[in-house]
Amino acid sequence: MASFDESPDQRLAEVLRSVVTHAHAVVRETRLTEDEWNAAIKFLTDAGNITTDTRQEFVLLSDVLGISMQTIAVNNRAYEDATEATVFGPFFAQDAPRIDQGEDIAGGAPGQPCWVEGTVKDTDGNPVAGARIEVWEADDEGLYDVQHTDGRVYGRAWLESDKDGTFRFWGLTPTPYPIPHDGPVGKMLQSTGRSPYRAAHLHFMVSAPGRRTLVTHIFVEGDPQLGAGDSVFGVKDSLIKTFETHDANEPTPDGRRLDKSWASTRFDVVLAPEDV
């Protein structure tokens, strides 16, 4: 502990003292063997080796240990009726295309078309115009575009809320899928009898000047994986939404003609003030 006393960064020293305290406690309480210590070092080395620009194994590790959700909890305290936050996940991309209201983010990916609409408001009920709404999701096969190596882009876009705070777009009805489990995190889950599956979800990141940036998803009501458990502990009851299924011959909200069934859902976002 004393080795950090002269640190010019006292916050860093505080964090490192806590890390050392808890790490030493693990070694003492479990009577960690040298072979187990070596296995842990190899695990972390393997996690680093498999990490790329489009795959972050350490984010996966943080997610499946519940550390991501705990970090979100301490940094996004509940404020009035503001929408709850949940895990960011490892598949966000900075260069998503911009779309206009009512356009399609699917990009030809397989899956059931889904109409998504809602509003962005502040905690006083006022519409937030011009909020940046980033959305991204996996296809019906459980893959994000960045998991392919050919540079394809699908299942992601961003748009801005209208003057009245409304937004709308076409996407895909979310389906359950496994997190990447061909690496060290997947082996850890397998060794402990845990499933790599995530509950079906659609990612959102919503930001606006003077508002706390919201990172969240919405989940599909009735998804069997909700009962089986989400591998990254991201589900919150307030984020479970009804996805209504419609026949192909039922008119769509924007007059789009479809030759198969489609779904619709609503997600009203409430942003907290930036300084809470």
Query: 144-154 pLDDT, tens per residue?
Result: 998 888 989 99
Residue located via tokens 């998504």: 116
- One domain, residues 161 and 185: yes
What is the arithmetic mean of pLDDT over 95-106?
Answer: 97
Share of the chain above pLDDT 90, in %: 91
Q: Give me the helix-helix angle, 67-75 and 57-64, nearest 10°.
A: 80
pLDDT-derived band at 266, boundaries 50, 70, 90: very high
- One domain, residues 80 and 38: no
Contact residues for 9 (Cβ-Cβ < 8 A; gap 6+): none
> In whole numbers, what is the pLDDT of the chain averaged over residues?
96
pLDDT(53) > 90 = no
Residue 29 covered by a domain = yes
Q: Which domain holds residue 46?
A: 2-55
pLDDT-derived band at 91, boundaries 50, 70, 90: confident
- One domain, residues 146 and 49: no
Query: 101-143 pLDDT, tens per residue?
Result: 999 999 999 999 999 999 999 999 999 999 999 999 999 999 9
Residue type, 120: V
Residue 41 covered by a domain = yes
pLDDT of residue 181: 93
- One domain, residues 19 and 76: no
pLDDT(252) > 80 = yes
pLDDT(167) > 80 = yes
Listing DSSP states for 160-216 in one string gives E--TTSEEEEEEE----EEPP-SSHHHHHHHHTT---EEPPEEEEEEE-TTBPPEEE
pLDDT(54) > 80 = no
Residue 152 covered by a domain = yes
According to DSSP, the β-strands at 262-266 and 113-122 are parallel
pLDDT of residue 55: 84
Asked if 166 and 102 touch (Cβ cutoff 8 Å), the reply is no
Of 13, 31, 55, the residue at which a domain comes to its end is: 55
pLDDT(10) > 80 = yes
Residue 77 covered by a domain = yes
What is the arithmetic mean of pLDDT over 59-74?
Answer: 95
- One domain, residues 76 and 125: yes
Cα distance between residue 177 and residue 206, in whole Å: 24
If one counts the domains in the chain, the total is 2
- One domain, residues 45 and 142: no
- One domain, residues 35 and 170: no
Residue 276 covered by a domain = no
Query: 19-31 pLDDT, tens per residue?
Result: 999 999 999 999 9
